[in-house]
Structure 1
Amino acid sequence: MIISVIGLGWLGLPLARHMEQKGFEVKGSTTSMEKLEKLKGEKLEPFLFNLTPHPTGQKFGNLFQTDVLIINIPPGTRSKPDTFHPEQAKYLKALAEQHGVKKIIYISSSSIYPSSEGIYEESFGITEHNTGNRALLKAENLLAKDAGYDLTILRCGGLMGGKRVPGKYFSGKENVDGNIPVNYIHQQDVIGIIDWIITENKWNNIFNAVSPQHPLRKEIYLHNAQNMGFPPPISFSQNYQQRIISSEKLLVQGFKFQFPDPMKYTYSSE
């Protein structure tokens, strides 16, 4: 089986390595020549490919000659208009259909759910009026509409692990929102979920990729600071919001988290 990963970044490259080690033939894309040269030392097959939002690069048609296409590109919603990422999705869909791709995994985000309080499951009715991320909603809908391929969408929580230590971002800060439950996911569990989708044929699904336990941000920030030796936040605000992204569907269907509790995440220097 051939797997193509669009976006060999913080998540995509470890994912590609994992799938290659399992015996899959793996292709992947990067947006820079410098990264392309570095990737040539890997066992996977790298290609230069960018979406601006129209596709540019070198021989990138080969990326779409694959059994499974994994779309793992940041939507850029902080710096780009809401129309940018859906345009990227439109071109990716056209390339996938042109090359007869049969299976797609799209890495979305739990930010697609409303930012208001609530417990959000995959069945929640997201609309343009209540979504927290219109660009992602439009991209999801575009990829799903009249699809000639199997599509599974992963709505990931805050991605942690590796060098991403949540407590570090708020070290020494004042009035930090700490009384809010986290909706995090460890990098290794996202990789595990993608592996599970492919090997267990969990197609035409939407899954919330979020650790099942939701400690308060405050607990994690203080825990990270103590364990890793950096200053904790100076103070916390009194703001509280009970917003939980449920991973019950994954659990019911048999996925076992390696890191169900964000208080017990491991980190590394890589």
Structure 2
Amino acid sequence: MTSVTIIGLGWLGEPLALYLLEKGYHVKGSTTTPEKLSLLQSKGIETALLKFNPHPEGSGFISLFETDVLFINIPPRSKSVPEGFYVEQVKFVRELAIQSKLKKIIFVSSTSVYPDWNQKVDESFRLTMENTGSPGILRAERILQSEKSYDLTIIRFGGLLGVDRIPGRYFSGKANVTGDSPVNYIHQVDAVRLSSWIIEKNLWNETFNGVAPVHPLRRDVYEKNAVELGFSPPVSYAKEGESMWKEIYSDKILATGFQFQIPDPLDFWYRP
């Protein structure tokens, strides 16, 4: 039985763990919250307490790294921690992986690494520390790619939305909201399915954009959310043509045979 360890059993990691359990994988994972430990274990996930602060703190977490596949899902918290904290976290994860002689790693990255240059981009776009939209995340990618003794696949997810994450709610009642740029979103359901797909199909040593293939305008998403879910739309939008944007292609993952269950963010479902 293939074992998968998910570092970060949060909004994406926990549903992915449950999805993989259904498919017959042995699933382990980490949480930073002591209160969640027994709850996750009761769902069949072998769970340990682990927090990268940025060095590893917790208990019983070494066994997490004795696994076939390591799924690194540590969200950057750029506003609440010093610059470079996220990169240091990833360095410590990498060191534990190397010590355990791990052979396969999936790293959750972000489409924020691409610059907003008013253009369409795919995985072939040449990123540098000078042009990236997120130097910390790109640096983390490169740390994992350097001198590696393991297979590594990077998933650059767009905006992870759906369920209880409702894009229009974030801008409800606000003024001067950007509305004329395309969205780069993915529903939680498809983020889970795409992550599992990479493991199932052995898609290693690749970089994939995890973004729904349809890109409606922000305004259309916000207005539809407001109507369907019963809250106020933005009170005004910024002047058209002033915002910088990017549109992220997901053709590469589609070419592997993966199909999005919800390809259009205007069709995302929520549980408000």
TM-score, normalised to structure 2, is 0.96
1:266 match:
269
Give the Cα–Cα distance (whole angstroms) in 1 for the partners of residues 139 and 230 of structure 2. Answer: 42
Give the Cα–Cα distance (whole angstroms) in 2 for the partners of residues 181 and 47 of structure 1. Answer: 40
Give the Cα–Cα distance (whole angstroms) in 1 for the partners of residues 80 and 127 of structure 2. Answer: 23
Cα deviation, 1:143-196, whole Å, max 9, x if unaligned, reads: 011111110000000010110011111111111111111010111111111111
Q: Secondary structure at the match of 2:63?
A: helix
1:137 match:
138
Give the Cα–Cα distance (whole angstroms) in 1 for the partners of residues 207 and 255 of structure 2. Answer: 13
Question: Any conservation in 2 of the 1:82–1:134 contact (CA below 8 Å)?
Answer: no
Task: Return closer, same or farther for 1:249/1:6 CA change in 2, 3 Å cut-off.
Answer: same
Residue 257 of structure 2 is aligned to residue 254 of structure 1: yes
**Amino acid corresponding to residue 73 of structure 2 in structure 1:** N
2:18 match:
17
Q: Secondary structure at the match of 1:40?
A: helix
Q: Secondary structure at the match of 1:76?
A: coil
Equivalences for residues 151-190 of structure 1 within 5 A: 151-190=152-191
Runs of 4+ in 1 over 6 A off after TM superposition: none
**Amino acid corresponding to residue 244 of structure 1 in structure 2:** E
Q: Secondary structure at the match of 1:201?
A: coil
Give the Cα–Cα distance (whole angstroms) in 1 for the partners of residues 125 and 78 of structure 2. Answer: 22
CA shift, 1:266, in A, is 1.0
Give the Cα–Cα distance (whole angstroms) in 1 for the partners of residues 29 and 171 of structure 2. Answer: 34
Cα deviation, 1:92-116, whole Å, max 9, x if unaligned, reads: 1111111111110000000011132
Question: Any conservation in 1 of the 2:115–2:246 contact (CA below 8 Å)?
Answer: no
2:46 match:
45
**Amino acid corresponding to residue 255 of structure 2 in structure 1:** V
**Amino acid corresponding to residue 269 of structure 2 in structure 1:** T
How many aligned residue pairs are there?
A: 269
CA shift, 1:39, in A, is 1.9
Q: Secondary structure at the match of 1:107?
A: strand
Task: Return closer, same or farther for 1:33/1:244 CA change in 2, 3 Å cut-off.
Answer: same
CA shift, 1:253, in A, is 2.2
Residue 197 of structure 2 is aligned to residue 196 of structure 1: yes
Give the Cα–Cα distance (whole angstroms) in 1 for the partners of residues 40 and 245 of structure 2. Answer: 42
Q: Which runs of 5+ in 2 are unaligned?
A: none
Q: Secondary structure at the match of 1:27?
A: strand
2:107 match:
106
RMSD of aligned Cα (Å): 1.1
Task: Return closer, same or farther for 1:78/1:239 CA change in 2, 3 Å cut-off.
Answer: farther
Q: Secondary structure at the match of 1:189?
A: helix
Cα deviation, 1:237-263, whole Å, max 9, x if unaligned, reads: 114344111111112222101111000
2:230 match:
229
Equivalences for residues 15-94 of structure 1 within 5 A: 15-94=16-95
Give the Cα–Cα distance (whole angstroms) in 2 for the partners of residues 235 and 141 of structure 1. Answer: 40
Q: Secondary structure at the match of 2:42?
A: coil
Q: Secondary structure at the match of 2:36?
A: helix
Residue 216 of structure 2 is aligned to residue 215 of structure 1: yes
Cα deviation, 1:27-75, whole Å, max 9, x if unaligned, reads: 0100121121322321111100010111111010010010000000111
Q: Secondary structure at the match of 1:147?
A: coil
Give the Cα–Cα distance (whole angstroms) in 1 for the partners of residues 240 and 5 of structure 2. Answer: 43
Question: Any conservation in 1 of the 2:163–2:269 contact (CA below 8 Å)?
Answer: yes
Give the Cα–Cα distance (whole angstroms) in 1 for the partners of residues 226 and 15 of structure 2. Answer: 26
Residue 102 of structure 2 is aligned to residue 97 of structure 1: no
TM-score, normalised to structure 1, is 0.97
Give the Cα–Cα distance (whole angstroms) in 2 for the partners of residues 251 and 211 of structure 1. Answer: 10
